Amino acid sequence: MGTRLEVIGLKDIQEFQQLYKQSWPKYCQEYYCLDNFVEFLKKQPHMRNIKMYTLDTKQARDEGLFVIVDRYQLFVGCLNNTNGLVRKALDLLDWSTGLKCSSIPSRHIGALDSLVESKKLDLVFRDCTNLFFMKAEDALKLRVEPPTGFVLKSLSVADAPLVNAEWPNHHEGSLFFVERQIRLCVSVGLYQEDTQELVAWCIRLQGGYLGALQVKDSHKRRGFGSVVTREIAYRLAAQGHDVMALVGPSNKPSSGMFSKLGFQVIEQCFWLRTEPTEGQFTWPEGE
């Protein structure tokens, strides 16, 4: 019999996560991706629509190979990108409903591109982003007081419709995603003190990155994006986490802001979405 996908659970990904501490921060993407899913499963052991796999070989486990399908999003990691493990695992996945391959480390994009070509999958997009990174000890210095008349606090699930609607990447199924991230991860909102109007915000994505950073049009060019970025970076650092963000090379304002705050570009990550192969797939509401 050939190599097969093997379903893994919380204990497995906790063991794999420790492997990714080596040569830090080379494998920070894999480490923090697993860190988030570990925390998710601790809080909600029976989360629906999350499937986690490795290959049924000792080599795959030794290399910490994981493939996580979270609803329609795909995450992948492996210490080694030259032995074909990632390509083999991707080949065994079901691609029929289409997948959003998310924050794929550049060392694995060759395996993914090869898979797309061999299966003749059509792409919705294929984008490269720069990984901005800051050590926790530096992020602890970013704490900032809110501007006069405003308060900083964690987002509530009631804020999710606004966060989702203003997010340039919003899509079918993303409201549930935003609600879940607000519920389970660190987030920050800047609110007007007298009206409690939410004017700027940032959440943490499953991969561990800062995401959905947005300022309302009515409050732009006042430095509020930097304020919420500094606060969420500080909150993550206070938990012992280094801080990561992914920014498209053409997004000069965000790139400039992260550079000005002291973040360094250490890697590139790819985002790639495949079309369904068996007719359009609509993600169920509320799942």
| pLDDT beyond 70 at 119 | yes
For 158-184, what is each residue's pLDDT tens digit?
A: 999 999 999 988 888 889 999 999 999
Whether 69 maps to a domain, the answer reads yes
Report the number of distinct structural domains present in the chain.
2
What are residue 173's phi and psi, to 5 degrees?
95, -10
For 6-16, what is each residue's pLDDT tens digit?
A: 999 999 999 99
- 79 and 157, same domain (yes or no): no
- 37 and 66, same domain (yes or no): yes
Whether 254 maps to a domain, the answer reads no
The pLDDT-based confidence of 286 (bands split at 50, 70, 90) is low
What's the confidence (pLDDT) of residue 280? 74
What's the mean per-residue pLDDT of the chain?
Answer: 95
Whether 65 maps to a domain, the answer reads yes
pTM (2 decimals)?
0.94
- 159 and 87, same domain (yes or no): no
What's the confidence (pLDDT) of residue 170? 85
**Region 150-165 average pLDDT:** 97
Phi-psi region of 282 (alpha: psi -120 to 50; beta: other; left: phi over 0): beta
| pLDDT beyond 70 at 285 | no
Kindly list the distances between the CA atom of residue 8 and the CA atoms of 50, 140, 208, 230, in Å, as whole numbers in the listed order.
11, 35, 20, 36
- 140 and 53, same domain (yes or no): no
Whether 171 maps to a domain, the answer reads yes
- 225 and 123, same domain (yes or no): no
For 25-71, what is each residue's pLDDT tens digit?
A: 999 999 999 999 999 999 999 888 999 999 999 999 999 999 999 99
CATH of residue 17: 3.40.630
